[in-house]
Amino acid sequence: MPQQPQVIYLKDYQVPEFLIEKTDLRFELQADATLVKARLQIRRNPQSLSKNSALVLQGDKDLVLCRVAVNDQVLAEQDYRRSEESLSINDVPDVFVLETVTEIYPDQNTALEGLYRSDGMYCTQCEAEGFRRITFYLDRPDVMSVFTTTIEADKAAYPVLLSNGNPVASGDADGDRHWVTWEDPFPKPAYLFALVAGDLAFIEDRYVTGSGREVTLQIFAAEKDLDKLDYAMISLKKSMRWDEEVYGREYDLDIYMIVAVDFFNMGAMENKGLNIFNTSCVLAHPETTTDAGFQRVEGVVAHEYFHNWSGNRVTCRDWFQLSLKEGFTVFRDAEFSADMNSRTVKRVEDVSLLRTAQFAEDAGPMAHPIRPASFIEISNFYTMTIYEKGAEVVRMIHTLLGAENFRKGSDLYFERHDGQAVTTDDFVQAMEDASGIDLSQFRLWYSQAGTPVIDVSDEYDASQQIYTLILKQRCPATPGQSEKAPFHIPVSVGLLGKSGQDMMLSNGETTQVLELKEAEQRFSFTEIEEKPIPSLLRSFSAPVKLHYGYQRDDLVFLMSHDSDGFNRWEAAQKLGVDILQELIGEYQAGNELVLDNRLTAAYRAVLTDLSLDQAMVSKVLTLPTEAYLSELSDIIDVDAIHAVREFVIKTLAEALSSELIAVYDRCNVSEKYAPDATSIARRALKNLALSYLMKTGKPEQLERALTQFQDADNMTDSMAALALVVHSPYAKAAEVILEQFYLRWKNEPLVVNQWLSVQASNPSKGALNTVKQLMQHESFNMRNPNKVRSLISGFSSLNPVNFHAMDGSGYRFLADQIIELNNLNPQIASRLVTPLTRWKRYPADRQGMMREELQRIMDSGELSRDVFEVVSKSLA
Ligand code: PHE
Ligand code: ZN
């Protein structure tokens, strides 16, 4: 029986009893151990109520404490107390210097938190609570200190030594060693500390801020990746300009560094002046990176840069406030990407992710508000909810206030709280104070979990020319919250007349934001001359599920006429969902499947209309995904969903093959690769056409895919063709090109990741065996999170048919991997549990098997806090 880990509550928050004014660190990197010497200037917090409490520092159980001194007096063992997770010293003065020397073992660090080695280079990851794995400290975000860091290491093996801030001194030391001292003038919490040591190459550029300050920009990576850094540099400079223009925020240090590492638990980390990135979020080259990869680099570089203000200059008081920095920064990076590329495409992609992954999380055992009230392990709360729903909540504030007031609010927030560690409520308060708009009811979005549902009906009074929308909201129960109060929800609407034009609304515009605050509310529109078709929740103005009884013909009409680009896509999705859900019922009843030819006609119209926004065409012509159809089901029938969707794709492909071939040929232009919105749209449409054509099962379409694979000069086209062939019944052809692809790219880990993932997500029978074999392949490494994500998550989250195999083999496989990773890397292990947490959504036989595997994990021995929390909450 594993020991019950402690639950931490927001309501228990207390200000720190001590503050650290100055932190001096010295790292001596030796062959198998690192010596960390810390000199902390500590003072009692005048705001703390307890006046003579002991000093309690956090420190991981694996830290070897070599020395402790208070004001130069070395402490004897009876003067302090070591527990599993802390170091306590009684009777400390109100102001003093604490010195510690600890020994740590970065080579044995497989959890990738604290100081570890990745491919021969040292790097750190301290968010959220990794600093306590480096040395004893007040490891909480409301303790902010100025840092000076000296790194000493072997000169030949580690020529580059980096930390936060500016380099202020350097020199050689005995035994072919050298050292560098860095000074960061901005007080920061320990989670923003970073250190890097390695044999790294870099590119350098300059940026001149709006006020004329010159900033040096450097991006570091392994020598062989030097040619893959340009796009990140371009993205960084664009981000810096955008934040000046849109938020009035300038960069504040003389140097900004990014380092690429191959072993990383997350995407990237915003350490002050020294971002550390997963290679997958910074390296980009046309030959090795897909369009999606380029866009990820642009978005993540921007995200981490924007954190310099939303996260670093103004940080979080405690980890319950995580969405303060993450929700706001995701909103900021989404707007940046929208401005750089196609706004509608970006919105469609973000909403798709939210509605599948986040809505599912909000309906499951790990559901939590964007400001959680409790947690066992904070690492488990870097979630879709904190990030994506958090961003939607900030977006709603933007919608309710308008762009101008929102900017006033953000200016006030940054000015009022610069240098402070604050709460989500401080953010909302600044928005309220600057705009004069009441957000008291709106604050419920921070404390209530769950996805609200809005049922909409309407009435039209022809004699009075009044049209009325009746909105009813409810929100399902979530763990610990059975009853919910009504939310304040901005519902953006337009009304379309018969000819497809937008009607003028009472606000003098064609779109109006209805503020839904009651459980049920009526909104009337006057001078409406004919019964309109409503366009509801334009641009997805709130993270809700909205139901309105559209007829299929209404949806076809909205697909071609709605002036809101997002809702044109949404109409196509709704039409697809309606048709697919009906067919799923037929399939389950054992009836013959017949496709409603209105879908074929609507798709034909979109395929042949050259006046449409080409960036949106491939989105409109993509059927609702299996993940989205699953999320919409009460009981998920994996096989029916897959079979029906395949049937519809094949039927559409056969009916529209000449149009699809025309589109393919039109988009198949040879041009120099560029990752801009227009070329990305063209490649997306071409590859969408190819994906339909492949489903016709005609040998000439296989030829087309193989030709594209052989001729492609960029990874987008090459990968698309590879995936289509691998996921087709042409197993022989697939084997040949998989082999060819691997031989060509085996020295490019990021490409190999995709090669693994394509095989893991193959819906054909036998995928699990392939995955098991690939785990023995030379390219796989259980200690590398990118490899685990590609192969294991590629199977468990992108291959529903095989993962949910009726013999339970998929579940068993996943549980085995979780049990193994629980010791190696708890964060990654815990993330892998997600698909099993959804067990209640499946039919009884599958439920039983999934539960059994959760129980087996629970009983497998000593669990990390990370895995314990997710598994125990799932079984509760
Ligand atoms: N703070 C990082 C980001 O969102 C994410 C992260 C969290 C990275 C924890 C590492 C560890 O930008
Ligand atoms: Zn972030």
How many domains does the chain fold into? Answer: 2
Ligand 2 center to 453 CA (angstroms): 28
Identify the CA nearest to 747 among candidates 288, 440, 433, 339.
288
Task: Give the closest residue (by CA) to ligand 1 atom 1.
Answer: 269
Distance in Å, CA 872 to ligand 2 centroid: 27
In a shared domain, residues 187 and 317: no
Assess if residue 122 is contained within a domain: yes
Instruction: Using alpha carbons, select from 200, 196, 202, 159 the residue that is nearest to residue 178.
Output: 159
The span from the CA of 422 to the CA of 101, in Å, is: 32
In a domain, 596, yes or no: no
Tell me how crowded residue 3 is: count the other CB atoms within 10 A of its CB. 8
Residue 230 tokens, joined? 């340009």
Is the link from the previous residue into 128 a cis peptide, with omega within 30 of 0?
yes
Assigned token pair, 373: 């009230």
User: Quick one: 320 and 195 in the same domain?
Assistant: no
Q: How much is the pLDDT for 316?
A: 99
pLDDT in tens, 15-25: 999 999 999 99
Angle at alpha carbon of residue 600, lines to 594 and 604, rounded to 5°: 165
Instruction: Please state the rounded mean pLDDT for residues 311-335.
Output: 99
Q: Say which amino acid occupies 50.
A: S
- pLDDT mean over 248-253: 98
Give yes or no: residues 325 and 194 share one domain: no
In a domain, 502, yes or no: yes
Site to substitute for ligand 1 among 270, 304, 310, 381, most atoms within 8 A of C-beta: 270
- How far, in Å, from the CA of 836 to the mean position of ligand 1? 24
Return the ligand 1 atom nearest residue 130 CA.
Answer: 11
Euclidean distance between CA atoms 305 and 307, whole angstroms = 5
How many angstroms is it from 325 CA to the middle of ligand 2? Answer: 7
Residue 792, burial from CB neighbour count under 10 angstroms (0-12, 13-18, 19+):
buried
Q: For residues 418 and 430, give the distance between their C-alpha atoms in angstroms, rounded to a whole number.
A: 13
In this structure, the number of other CB atoms found within 10 A of the CB of residue 439 comes to 18
Query: Which residues form the pocket of ligand 1, taking CB atoms under 6 Å from any ligand atom?
Result: 125, 127, 265-266, 268-270, 303-304, 307, 326, 382
By three-state DSSP, how is residue 848 classified?
helix
Say which ligand is closest to the CA of 327: 2
Q: Which ligand is closest to the CA of 267, given by its number?
A: 1
Please report whether residue 94 resides in a domain: yes
**β-strand pairing of 195-198 with 160-163:** antiparallel
CA-nearest residue, atom 11 of ligand 1: 127
Contact between 114 and 130 under an 8 Å Cβ cutoff? The reply is yes
Ligand 2 center–CA 655 separation, angstroms? 45
**Sequence-separated (6 or more) residues with CB below 8 Å from residue 711:** none
Domain extent for 412: 309-545
pLDDT-based confidence at 809, cuts 50/70/90?
very high
The residue whose C-alpha atom lies closest to atom 12 belonging to ligand 1 is: 269
The 3 state secondary structure assigned to 649-709 is HHHHHHHCHHHHHHHHHHHCCCCCCCCCHHHHHHHHHHHHHHHHHHCCCCHHHHHHHHHHH
d(CA 855, CA 866): 16
In angstroms, the CA 505 to CA 499 distance is: 17
The ligand with the least distance to the CA atom of 326 is 2
Nearest to 406 by CA among 381, 378, 375, 436: 436
Atom of ligand 1 nearest to the CA of 326: 4
pLDDT surpassing 60 at residue 823 = yes
Q: 835 CA to middle of ligand 1, Å?
A: 22
Expressed in angstroms and rounded, the spacing between residue 268 Cα and the centre of ligand 2 is 8
Rounded CA-CA distance 839/853 in Å is: 10
449 pLDDT above the threshold of 50: yes
What's the rounded mean pLDDT across residues 794-810?
Answer: 98
Based on the domain organization, do 36 and 185 belong to the same domain?
A: yes
List, as ranges, residues with CB under 5 A of the ion ligand 2. Answer: 326, 329
Burial of 67 (0-12, 13-18, 19+ CB in 10 A): exposed
Ligand nearest to the CA of 126: 1
- Among residues 253, 272, 257, the alpha carbon closest in space to that of 209 is found at 253
Locate 343 and state its tokens. Answer: 């706004």
Distance 265 CA to ligand 2 centre (A): 13
Contact yes or no for 33/104 (Cβ under 8 A): yes
Is-contact 435 408, C-beta < 8 A?
yes
pLDDT at 92 over 90: yes
Q: Which atom of ligand 1 is nearest to the CA of 307?
A: 12
Tokens representing 868 are: 């314990």
Residues 128-140, mean pLDDT to the nearest whole number: 99
With the most atoms of ligand 1 within 8 angstroms of its CB, the residue from 133, 266, 305 to mutate is 266
- Are 857 and 815 in contact by the 8 Å Cβ rule? The answer is yes
Q: Which ligand 1 atom is at minimum distance from the Cα of 311? A: 1
Q: What pLDDT digit, counting tens, does each position of 31-87 carry? A: 999 999 999 999 999 999 988 899 999 999 999 999 999 999 999 999 999 999 999
Give CA separation, 98 vs 23, 87, 191, 751, in Å.
Answer: 10, 12, 20, 48
Which ligand ends up closest to the CA of 270?
Answer: 1
509 plus 370 within the same structural domain = yes
Q: Which ligand is nearest to the CA of 329?
A: 2
What local confidence, expressed as pLDDT, does residue 51 receive?
86
Residue 178 to residues 12, 357, 821: CA-CA distances in angstroms? Answer: 46, 48, 37
Alpha-helical runs (H) found in 418-487: 424-435, 444-447
Q: What whole-number distance in Å separates Cα of residue 359 and Cα of residue 350?
A: 12
Query: Looking at the predicted structure, is the pLDDT value of residue 282 above 90?
Result: yes
Return the pLDDT at 4: 82
Q: Which of 523, 545, 567 is the last residue of a domain?
A: 545
Whether 2 shows a pLDDT value over 60: the answer reads no
Strand 18-29 with 145-154, pairing: parallel
What tokens were used for 597? 């030819």
Which of 162, 183, 199 is the last residue in one of the domains?
199
What is the Cα–Cα distance from 855 to 731, expressed in whole angstroms?
Answer: 37
Residue in 112, 116, 118, 127 to alter for ligand 1 test, most ligand atoms within 8 A of Cβ: 127
Residue nearest to atom 2 of ligand 1 (CA): 269
Read off the amino acid at residue 396. M
Domain of residue 463, CATH code: 1.10.390.10
Give the pLDDT score at 50: 87
Atom of ligand 1 nearest to the CA of 304: 12
- Which atom from ligand 1 is nearest to the alpha carbon of 387? 4
| CB-based contact 391:327 (threshold 8 Å) | yes
As to burial, measured by CB atoms within 10 angstroms (0-12 exposed, 13-18 middle, 19+ buried), residue 122 is buried
The protein residue whose alpha carbon is closest to atom 3 in ligand 1 is 269
Is the per-residue pLDDT at 791 higher than 50?
yes
Identify whether 811 is part of a domain. no
Rg (CA), the chain: 28
* Ligand 1 atom nearest to 128, measured from its CA: 9
Phi/psi at 262 (5° precision):
-85, -25
Domain-terminating residue out of 164, 199, 234: 199
Sequence-distant (6+) residues with CB within 8 A of 234 are none
Atom of ligand 1 nearest to the CA of 382: 7
Mean confidence (pLDDT) of the chain: 98
Lowest mean pLDDT among 1-5, 543-547, 582-586: 1-5
SS3 string, 274-323, reads EEEEEHHHCCCCCCCCCHHHHHHHHHHHHHHHHCCCECCCEEECCHHHHH
Contact 170, 162 (CB under 8 A): no
Please give the Cα distance from 65 to 695 (Å, whole number). Answer: 63
Catalytic residue among 304, 377, 748, 853: 304
What three-state secondary structure class fits 58? strand
Structural domain contains residue 409: yes
What distance in angstroms lies between residue 14's CA and the mean position of ligand 2's atoms? Answer: 25
Q: What is the mean pLDDT of residues 812-836?
A: 98
pLDDT-derived band at 665 (thresholds 50, 70, 90) equals very high
Strand residues in 379-519 grouped as ranges (E)? 421-422, 453-461, 466-474, 489-496, 512-516
| 545 confidence band (pLDDT: 50, 70, 90) | very high
- The answer to whether the CB of 791 falls within 8 A of the CB of 784 is no
- Ligand 1: nearest atom to the Cα of 265: 10
**Residue 342 Cα, ligand 1 centroid: separation in angstroms?**
26
Q: Confidence class of residue 742 from pLDDT cuts 50, 70 and 90?
A: very high
**Closest by CA position to 228, among listed 668, 675, 670:** 675
CATH number of the domain encompassing residue 188 = 2.60.40.1730
Q: Based on the domain organization, do 193 and 334 belong to the same domain? A: no
Q: Beta partners for 172?
A: 178
Both tokens of residue 325? 């920095």
- Distance in Å from the first CA to the final CA of the chain: 16
Probe residue for ligand 1, chosen from 316, 382, 786 as the CB with the greatest number of ligand atoms within 8 Å: 382
Give the full edge-to-edge strand order of the sheet including 466-474: 520-525, 466-474, 453-461, 545-548
Q: Where are the alpha helices (DSSP H) in 761-808?
A: 767-774, 785-788, 794-798, 800-803
Protein residue with least CA distance to atom 5, ligand 1: 269
Residue 735 lies in a domain: no
CA dist 397 → 209, 339, 406 (Å): 29, 19, 7
Assign 39 to helix, strand or coil.
Answer: strand
H/E run at residue 521: strand 520-525
Q: Whose CA is nearest to atom 7 of ligand 1?
A: 127
Concerning whether 304 is annotated as a catalytic residue, the answer is: yes
Q: How far apart are CA 726 and CA 706, in angstroms?
A: 11
Q: Do 321 and 172 belong together in one domain?
A: no
Of all ligands present, the nearest one to the C-alpha of 128 is 1
- 7 class by beta-carbon count within 10 Å (0-12 exposed, 13-18 middle, 19+ buried): exposed
Cα 817 from Cα 225, distance rounded (Å): 31
118, 269, 270, 383, best to mutate for ligand 1 pocket (most atoms within 8 Å of CB): 269
Residue 802: inside a domain: no
127 Cα to the center of ligand 1, angstroms: 7
| Residue 326 alpha carbon to ligand 2 centre in Å | 5
In the chain, % of residues over pLDDT 70:
100
What is the reported pLDDT for 3? 61
**pLDDT beyond 80 at 871:** yes
Q: Tell me how far apart the 2 most distant CA atoms of the chain are, in Å.
A: 94
Separation of alpha carbons 845 and 808, rounded Å: 10
Phi, psi of 742 (to 5 degrees): -65, -45
Atom in ligand 1 nearest the alpha carbon of residue 113: 11
